[in-house]
Structure 1
Amino acid sequence: MRASQRARGEDVALVDSLLSADERRRSSGVRFDELRAEQKGLGKLIGKAAGDEKADLLKRAGQLAADVKAADAERDAADTETQELLQRLGNLVHPDVPVGGEEDFVTLETHGTHRDFAAEGFEPRDHLELGQLLGAIDVERGAKVSGSRFYFLTGVGALLELALVNAAIAQATAAGFIPMLTPALVRPQSMAGTGFLGQAAQDVYHLDKDDLYLVGTSEVPLAAYHMDEILDADRLPLRYAGFSPCFRREAGSHGKDTKGIFRVHQFDKVEMFSYVLPEDARAEHQRLLEWEKQWLTSLELPFRVIDVASADLGASAARKYDCEAWIPTQGKYRELTSTSDCTEFQSRRLSIRVREEKKVRPLATLNGTLCAVPRTIVAILENHQQADGSVRVPEVLRPYLGGREVLEPVAK
């Protein structure tokens, strides 16, 4: 665990603090049990004693009562400290994860080819210019109504979102996922149990009056869906495809991706989520990645798959793969989907277990973004644009757009 914390770039001393607090919890628990046993035994003796002996026993009983109360308080304090430290500890990083920061990922595979716009005789427009030509994106009124990093999807932009969501859900249900519409507000234990109140807390919106959190992904309600439950092994794997609005402060991203809708405070997303036996988690992780690759291939987007480096993992992830689509006007790959193996990290914190015959143990949870709508729209507009400002519609989306093959400009 110390090595894992070091690889994450997190506080290694946290492990030693946790061990120390846990030792105090254990020793104070033993002390409490010993004092309580003595107290019970003394109670029996008092009933049989008389005179000075009884007076001495009563005096001892008074002292014991104070000692028991102090031991109980010490045990509770140590237990609280242990749990607080435990909540701050990230998942154990998988040994095959590349060690390092954001730029230390390993490229695993590349799919598709970049278009040569120069050979086609025109300079590619960025997604915002295309969105305005199509009457699909309005960030100016989004900022007027809600502030920076908010937007309206209008006309074909709104239709394109609905097409993406319906196509993504169709793929997921065909693969055996149960479609889910999830709550956007969750209780603290749901947010903490999935690992989003540690390093990611600054990116979460909190409603103080109600003590509820706005989710940044439907992973949170999907993980907490079976909180405090014991599932039978023959029900696994359980796979859900959740659709929800997502809210993120984007703390620390000042000045990054401020133009357009790539990095915003509110967006819609289709998320895959799996409950499996721990020994099946690695294979399930590969399956989630394959479904993401299938989705991006169906959208005819050039993309690459990377193995995310240790310090760039979320607290709950033991390993994470990102699929990054090529964005022509940026001249680089940008994250569109990701999938994480959270092993038993979330199930232990949310008290989700599996029963095999007479044995009960934690299970594994995994998640995978299938379609983060705004970023997918960015990639589609830029990669499928044509010289006149129109955008070719990928075949997989055409049935959901009334058979439309091209999105045409509505204004100069």
Structure 2
Amino acid sequence: MIDLRLLREDPDRVRASQRARGEDVDIVDSLLAADELRRSSSVRFDALRGEQKQLGKQIPKATGDEKTALLQRAGELSAAVKAADAERDEAAARAQELLLGIGNLVHPDVPVGGEDDFTVRETLGTIRDFAAEGFEPKDHLELGQGLGAIDTERGAKVSGSRFYYLTGIGALLELALVNAAVAQATEAGFTPMITPALVKPRAMEGTGFLGQAAADVYHLEKDDYYLVGTSEVPLAAYHMEEILDADALPRRYAGFSPCFRREAGSYGKDTRGIFRVHQFDKVEMFCFVDPAEAEGELERLLAWEKQWLTSLELPFQVIDVASGDLGASASRKYDCEAWIPTQGKYRELTSASNCNEFQARRLQVRMREKGGAVRPLATLNGTLCAIPRTIVALLENHQQADGSVRVPQALRPYLGGREVLEPVST
């Protein structure tokens, strides 16, 4: 959540951020009013409680009519204190509810607009000219079926639409990608983590996934657990309610976990194959840093993602995501989009987000500075490898005319030295 002091001192900045996101601007004034009521009711409660304490000292010493009057006033004060306490608690709850409804402040350099208003930061790699090579590219599902790697029919039979099996070389390809991604992250100084897939509401809300993104989250009502859509959630909550020494920062974790998404609002989108699914595995980078280092850390996350996609020999572009397409927690977000030949366009494969102090404030993750002062730190996250989409890009970009798929050099050590994935005979 944002800093309330900033809201009081510069409400126009918060209004501008809400407007850029396409979110409710009036919530800013509602929160200011609720905050003022919270503070005034707290002052009133403290004054009444102080008078009550003083009265409590006077009553034992009083006699006669004076004592009677004091006891009458004590009764009045008791009722007034209870009412003020209730008013204070109600105002505080209302202010907190409104505060949780305001997104992180959008970075001033973020392009303003919706999903299609991003700006392209750079383009890397070369798009293949399949026509010049003399064949029409197949899509990833046809290739995957030919390789005996993907089975969506049985996935739908067992679990419904947007589910799948990775079989044979498909399963081995996932394991190779996971191991290669974790190896790169470990070499870069990240601590590998295998994280819980079920979290309590506190963790999900603290990372900002129960606001605008709540419709995309699976909730197990009987047990009040949430299935994570990304290991960002358990990684962010790992140091929940802890104070970390500034000297121990940055702390970088690479989490591997299954991810679950309802894909609410995606009806009719990417229904073929495994590009948009309800369950998938992912390697996610997460960083706890000094807020002064947050923007530099975002650039480092992006550099690691570019290194990864370059090692897979994929053509891709880096975009600066527009304000209206940011998640509630992100101040700025870069996406790396790989070229998908059969779609004729770039599609998101990885992302890197700077959340500044937003998540840390909600989760009460703080840092102790050298002088002893304690303050919120900053958190950042970056997808290194979302398995299904990466497989889509690999199969389509590295396919050959006979339906085989060339294995990028970086993956070969993790696939038993295979240079080519060969179609299976049926």
Regarding TM over 0.5, the answer is: yes
Residue number among 36, 55, 59 corresponding to 2:72 in the alignment: 59
Provide the secondary structure at the position in 2 that maps to 1:39: helix
Name the SS of the counterpart of 1:272 in structure 2.
strand
Q: Could you tell me which residue of structure 1 aligns to residue 27 of structure 2?
A: 14
Partner of 1:70: 83
Give the gaps of 5 or more residues in structure 2: 1-13
C-alpha displacement of 1:48: 1.4
Which residue does 1:44 correspond to in 2?
57
Matched AA of 1:359:
A
Tell me whether 1:391 sits opposite 2:411 in the alignment.
no
Matched, 1:124 2:137: yes
Aligned to 2:419: 405
| Amino-acid identity (%) | 80
What is the 5 A alignment of 1:94-109?
Answer: 94-109=107-122
2:123 to 93, 100, 110: 110
| 1:225 alignment partner, SS class | helix
Q: CA deviation at 1:137?
A: 0.3
**How far, CA to CA, are the matches of 1:27 and 1:9 in structure 2?**
32
Moved over 2 A (4+): none
Aligned counterparts of 2:415 and 2:368: Cα–Cα separation in 1: 45
CA distance in 1, matches of 2:281, 2:27: 36
Counterpart residue identity of residue 415, structure 2: L
Determine whether 1:221 maps to 2:227. no
In 2, distance between residues paired with 1:15 and 1:266? 37
Q: 1:195 aligns to what?
A: 208
Q: Matches of 1:359 and 1:44 in 2, distance apart?
A: 38
Report the Cα distance in structure 1 between the residues aligned to 2:234 and 2:127, rounded to whole angstroms.
37
> In the alignment, is residue 381 of structure 1 matched against residue 386 of structure 2?
no
Q: Give the Cα–Cα distance (whole angstroms) in 1 for the partners of residues 127 and 31 of structure 2.
A: 50
The CA deviation at 1:411 is 3.5
1:362 to 373, 376, 381: 376
User: Counterpart of 2:303 in structure 1: which amino acid?
Assistant: E
Report 1:207-356 matches (<5 A). Answer: 207-356=220-369
SS of the equivalent of 1:80 reads helix
2:421, 2:211 → 1: CA distance? 43
TM-score by length of 2: 0.96
Which whole-Å CA distance do the structure 2 matches of 1:353 and 1:43 have between them?
40
In structure 1, what residue type is equivalent to 2:213?
A: A
Q: Please state if 1:183 is matched with 2:196.
A: yes
1:149 aligns with 2:130: no
Structure 2 counterpart of 1:407, one-letter code: L
Q: Deviations over 1:365-407 (max 9, x none)?
A: 0000000000000000000000010000011110111000110
Q: What secondary structure, in the 3-state scheme, does the structure 2 residue paired with 1:95 have?
A: coil
TM-score, normalised with respect to structure 1: 0.99
RMSD, aligned α-carbons: 0.6
Residue identity matched to 2:145? Q
Partner of 1:320, secondary structure, is: strand
